[in-house]
Amino acid sequence: MGAETLSFQAEVARLLNIVTHSLYTNKEIFLRELISNASDACDKLRYLALTEPALLDGDATLGIRIEIDKPGRRLAVIDNGIGMNRDDLVQNLGTIAKSGTAAFVEGMAAAKPADMNLIGQFGVGFYSAFMVADRVEVTSRKAGENQGWRWASEGAGSFTVEEAGEVPRGTRIELQLNKEADEFLERARIDRIVKTYSDHIALPITVAAEGAEEKVNSAAAIWARPKADITEQQHREFYHHVGHAFDAPWLTIHQKAEGTIEYTMLLYVPSEKPFDLFDPDRKHKVKLYVRRVFVTDHCEGLVPAWLRFLRGVVDSEDLPLNISRETLQANPIVQKIRNALVRKVLSEIEAKAKQDAESFAKFWDAFGAVLKEGLYEDFEHRDRILKLARFRSTEGDALVTLDDYIGRMKEGQSEIYFMTGEDLGKLKTSPQLEGFKAKGIEVLLLTDPVDDFWTSMVPAYEGKALRSVTRGGIDLGGIKGAKAEPPKEEAAKEGDIATLIAVVKTALGEAVKDVRASDRLTESPVCLVAAEGDMDMRLARLLRQTGRAPEAAARILELNPRHALVKRLAALAAAGGAADQVGEAAHLLFDQARILEGEGPVDPAAFVRRLNEALARNLAA
Ligand code: ADP
Ligand code: MG
């Protein structure tokens, strides 16, 4: 059978176009990516061979070999790992299943000069070979199969696949180097690259050139080495490898536990947010090893979703090697490791928070929104997470803790007040806060979508109820404000307000649950709040957007009896005979309050008509 020509998936073609047509300063990373793939391939085979030893068929010493052919200007990376058959080649080296490509292409376009270092992070590392090669040939035989296959491409729109007959198990990736890539024919250069980027690979890596072959890495699992022997640089390279990341770790946690269960964990907290942090699957990326053998990077029970930013490995001494991946989650050893891991990670993060507030603020900025998911998913650790949590508030720009907040509570204040919203700027100017500001009562301003969920499920902190200011029923009367309260406008007469409320209720009908006078407003005429038993307004809106709440519950419209406009309307209502005019104004005020909530008028056409009539009247007068 002859060679078959196939087209790259459009995304791959676009990616290759970038890879082959940009200039890079760090071209050598292609080798790290190919070695990383070779190492993954050996890990996969080793795992499968646990239950099917025949897969190793007489070639059980796994390793990676790099061959330099100087006269032929070729460089090959060879492994005897799992290998690929025809379908694997077409699938893995012709399409991109992962969500990362678009993000990668954007990231590349944004980074000037183009930063190829990013490539491994997006699960497309293989294609970096085209930075240095005019042509790439992949010859492979899958473990357990007889037929070998050859994939080849020049990196333009297409590739070929054909049968390759009898070839050794595993994969040989051969690069025909381009004219700018001479340096990669020098043995010393290759040795240095392997040492720099791949020393932590726990398989022997040998380099063969001009008849001489030598092992160049230390080939020991880094986490099994004594803590003190590992340099920061080695940690960084290993973190890059396991985490597909290219920043420096913000925190490194290396612990060997020897007790009823034995395991080693080497975990990293990134300093930058990984691009897929908020992917809906919320999967963690910590790899599970059993006695130095890679088992899986999808062991769901090992790390809770609210710590999914962690990268690294857990290596257990107690799990059976032949355990099926499906039963891992329910395994009691895995659960014990998970509990210990969560406690350890929390205590390390707590220590960082104490040591260096500024650095912790950066961490919180990147991962606080994820950690807060633990507030409703992990009851056991709720208090510790609450203690770590940082918030914006009406008191200046600094991040505050709940303990800071409680320390500043005013005399007579027994609750922690908060408000949620999309945008800090909008929150700060929202009418619901006016009364709090006038009395100098601090309000926490929460802007992460997750804030709506946890605040609806966490009733209190240190015995202080958490309370949304967009709910009715908050009485600020009993709290002694710190500031001298600004002289208040005279309020409208109580009787007049009662009449106005009746007229407004009639005009708005079912659209509101209630209408009442309120002391929470100082500058705005009206605002909307949720009734005490009802769902917080923003949570209701979020749920509606995701189709999970049937209909908006009607709100309470609160009137400011000291506002000039409200006073004028009260007087009009009390004088009688102006019900129509007051009713129209009530609709305008109601819609205005909705707009401030980000919801828009009930009936935009009617709103515009009323507004224009009001303007026309005003201009005519
Ligand atoms: P990633 O390694 O993040 O999955 P790559 O672009 O580096 O992305 O590789 C794509 C896929 O090609 C790998 O996931 C793997 O399935 C396959 N692959 C690449 N190199 C090898 C190899 N040496 N042996 C077996 N499979 C390989
Ligand atoms: Mg890879």
Q: From the CB of 304, is ligand 1 less than 6 Å away?
A: no
pLDDT tens-place string over residues 252-297 = 999 999 989 999 999 999 999 988 888 888 999 999 998 888 888 8
Which residues line ion ligand 2, judged by CB < 5 Å?
A: 37, 125
Give the confidence band of 321 by pLDDT, cuts at 50, 70, 90: confident
**What was the pLDDT predicted at 294?**
85
pLDDT at 484 over 60: no
Whether the predicted pLDDT of 81 surpasses 80: yes
Which comes out higher in pLDDT, residue 255 or 12?
A: 255
Instruction: For residue 83, report the distance from its CA to the centre of ligand 1, in Å.
Output: 10
Which atom of ligand 1 is nearest to 44's Cα?
Answer: 25
Judged against a pLDDT cut of 60, whether residue 25 lies above it is answered with yes
State the distance from the centre of ligand 1 to the C-alpha of 35, rounded, in angstroms: 10
pTM score, two decimals? Answer: 0.79
Query: In the structure, what pLDDT confidence band is assigned to residue 10 with cuts at 50, 70 and 90?
Result: confident
* 81 C-beta closer than 6 A to ligand 1: yes
> Which DSSP category does 84 fall into?
-
pLDDT band at 567 (very low <50, low <70, confident <90, very high): very high
pLDDT cut 70: percent of the chain above it: 92
Range from 113-117, 346-350, 431-435, 483-487 that averages highest in pLDDT: 346-350
Question: Which residue's alpha carbon is nearest to atom 27 within ligand 1?
Answer: 37
196 contacts: CB under 8 Å, gap ≥ 6:
237
User: In terms of DSSP H, where are the helices of 52-186?
Assistant: 86-92, 100-110
Query: Among 13-27, 264-278, 554-568, which stretch is predicted with the lowest mean pLDDT?
Result: 13-27
Q: Which residue has the tokens 């202080």?
A: 464
Q: Quick one: which of 567, 604, 570 has its CA closest to 587?
A: 604
Task: Give, in order, the Cα–Cα distances in Å from 466 to each of 72, 397, 533.
Answer: 72, 21, 14
In this structure, how many other beta carbons lie within 10 angstroms of the beta carbon of residue 323?
20
100 CA → ligand 1 middle, Å: 14
Q: Is the CB of 126 under 6 A from ligand 1?
A: yes
Q: How far is the CA of 33 from the centre of ligand 2 (A)?
A: 5
Tens-digit pLDDT profile for residues 374-431: 999 999 999 999 999 999 999 988 999 999 999 999 999 999 999 998 889 989 989 8
Ligand 1 neighbourhood includes 29 CB (under 6 angstroms): no
Atom of ligand 1 nearest to the CA of 37: 20
Omega of the bond prior to 113 within 30 degrees of 0, cis?
yes
> 61-94 as b/e, with b when 16 or more CB fall inside 10 Å?
ebbbbbbbbeeebbbbbbbbbbbbbbebbbeebb
126 Cα–ligand 2 center, Å: 6
What per-residue confidence (pLDDT) applies to 26? 78
Q: Determine the distance separating the centroid of ligand 1 and the alpha carbon of 37, expressed in angstroms.
A: 5
Check whether 468 has a pLDDT greater than 60.
yes
Protein residue whose Cα sits closest to atom 15 of ligand 1? 92
Average pLDDT in the 470-489 region?
73
Using CB atoms within 10 Å of the CB of residue 320, give its burial: 0 to 12 exposed, 13 to 18 middle, 19+ buried.
Answer: exposed
Residue owning the nearest CA to atom 12 of ligand 1: 92
For residue 24, pLDDT over 80 is answered with no
What's the whole-number mean pLDDT along residues 511-533?
87
> Which ligand is nearest the CA of 128, by number?
1
Average pLDDT over residues 511-521: 89
State yes or no: pLDDT of 614 exceeds 70: yes
pLDDT of residue 474: 80
User: Please, what are the domains in the chain?
Assistant: 4-218 (3.30.565.10), 223-358 (3.30.230.80), 390-486 (3.40.50.11260), 494-620 (1.20.120.790)
For residue 112, what pLDDT band results from cuts at 50, 70 and 90? Answer: low
> Could you say which ligand is closest to the alpha carbon of residue 77?
1
Pocket test of ligand 1: the residue of 37, 121, 151 to mutate, having most ligand atoms within 8 Å of its CB, is 37
User: Which ligand 1 atom is the nearest neighbour of the CA of 81?
Assistant: 24
Closest residue CA from atom 23 of ligand 1: 38
Whether residue 343 is predicted with pLDDT greater than 80 in this model: the reply is yes
pLDDT, tens digit, 9 for 90 and up, residues 151-189: 999 999 999 999 998 999 999 999 999 999 999 999 999
Residue 165: predicted pLDDT: 87
- Which residue has a Cα nearest atom 18 of ligand 1? 37
Distance 125 CA to ligand 2 centre (A): 5
Mutate to test the pocket of ligand 1, among 9, 40, 117, 149 (most ligand atoms within 8 A of CB): 40
Highest mean pLDDT among 102-111, 243-252, 473-482: 243-252
Specify the residue with its C-alpha closest to ligand 1, atom 20: 37
Contact between residue 169 and residue 57 where contact means Cβ atoms under 8 Å apart: yes
Burial of 423 (C-beta count, 10 Å sphere; 0-12/13-18/19+): exposed
Check pLDDT > 60 for residue 542: yes
Residue 37 in contact with ligand 1 by CB distance below 6 A: yes
Q: Concatenated DSSP letters for 544-599?
A: HHTT-S-SPPPEEEEE-TTSHHHHHHHHHHHH-S-HHHHHHHHHHHHHHHHHHTT-
> Over 80: is that where the pLDDT of 110 sits?
no
79 lines ligand 1 (CB under 6 A): yes
Q: What is the pLDDT of residue 117?
A: 66
Q: Is the CB of 41 under 6 A from ligand 1?
A: yes
**pLDDT over 70 at 116, yes or no:** no
Least confident stretch, 91-100, 166-175, 538-547: 538-547
Cβ 45 under 6 angstroms from ligand 1: no
Mean pLDDT of the chain: 89
Average pLDDT over residues 325-340: 90
